[in-house]
Amino acid sequence: MAILPFENLSGRADLEWMSRGFAEAMRLSLAGSAARQVFYAGALRDVPASSATGVLQGYFSIEGGALRVHAVVENVENHRMVFAADVAGPESQGMLPLAEAVARNLDYDHRPAPTHNAGAFHAYIEALEASAPASADAAFERATQTDPAFGAAWLAWAQSLAARNERSRAIQVILAARERKVEFPDLERLRLEVLAGGIAGDRQAEQHALIELAQADRGDASVRRSLGDLAMAAREWLHAAAWYEQVLEREPDNVGAWNQLGYARLWAGDAPGAVSALSTYRRLRPADANPIDSLGDVHYYSSKFADAEKLYLEAGARDPGFLGGGEYYKAAWARLMRGDVKGADELFARFVNARQPAGDPLITFRLAEWEYLSGRRKGGIARLEQLARSGPPPVAAISLGQLSIWLLETGDRARARQYAGMLKMTDGIAALARFLTQPPASPEEWKRRLAAAFPGPAGTPLRRIALPYALLFAGEYQAAIDPLDELDRASDPSSAARPAVALARALAETGDFRRLPELVNPNPAPDPLGQHLFAAVAFPRVLFLRGLIAEREGRQAEARQQYALYVQFLGDLAPASRDTDRARAALGK
Cβ-count burial 304-330 (b if 16+ within 10 Å, e if not): bbebbbbbbbbbbebeeebbbbbbbbb
Q: Give the pLDDT score at 49.
A: 81
Split at pLDDT 50, 70, 90, the class of 205 is very high
Q: Is the pLDDT of residue 151 over 80?
A: yes
Nearest to 260 by CA among 288, 220, 233, 223: 233
Instruction: Write out pLDDT tens, residues 107-140.
Output: 878 899 999 999 999 999 999 999 999 999 999 9
Poorest-confidence range of 98-112, 116-130, 176-190? Answer: 176-190
Nearest to 159 by CA among 135, 136, 182: 136
Instruction: Write out pLDDT tens, residues 450-502.
Output: 999 998 888 888 999 999 999 999 999 999 999 999 999 988 888 777 899 99
Can the peptide bond before residue 286 be classed as cis, meaning omega within 30 degrees of 0?
Answer: no
Number of continuous H segments (helices) and E segments (strands) in the chain: 30, 6
User: What percent of the chain is modeled with pLDDT above 70?
Assistant: 99
Residue partners of 378: CB distance under 8 A and separation at least 6: 572, 573
Residue partners of 289: CB distance under 8 A and separation at least 6: 315, 316, 318, 319, 322, 327
Q: Is the pLDDT of residue 72 over 80?
A: yes
Q: Which residues pair with 67 in a beta bridge?
A: 62, 89
Q: Is the pLDDT of residue 274 over 70?
A: yes
DSSP secondary structure code for residue 108 in this structure = T
Q: Is the pLDDT of residue 182 over 80?
A: no
CA–CA distances in Å: residue 192 to residues 24, 151, 154, 160: 18, 9, 8, 12
Q: Which structural domains are found in the chain, ordered by start? A: 1-113 (3.40.50.10070), 118-219 (1.25.40)
Nearest to 436 by CA among 462, 473, 399, 402: 473
Q: Give the pLDDT score at 60.
A: 98
pTM for the model stands at: 0.85
Q: Is the pLDDT of residue 445 over 70?
A: yes
Q: Give the pLDDT score at 126.
A: 98
Instruction: Write out pLDDT tens, residues 544-554.
Output: 999 999 999 99
Split at pLDDT 50, 70, 90, the class of 181 is low
More confident residue, 573 or 396: 396
User: What percent of the chain is modeled with pLDDT above 90?
Assistant: 82
> What number is the average pLDDT over the span 352-359?
82
Q: Is the pLDDT of residue 440 over 90?
A: yes
Q: Chain-centre distance of CA 178, in angstroms?
A: 31
Chain mean pLDDT for the chain: 93
> What number is the average pLDDT over the span 240-248?
97
Residue partners of 390: CB distance under 8 A and separation at least 6: 396
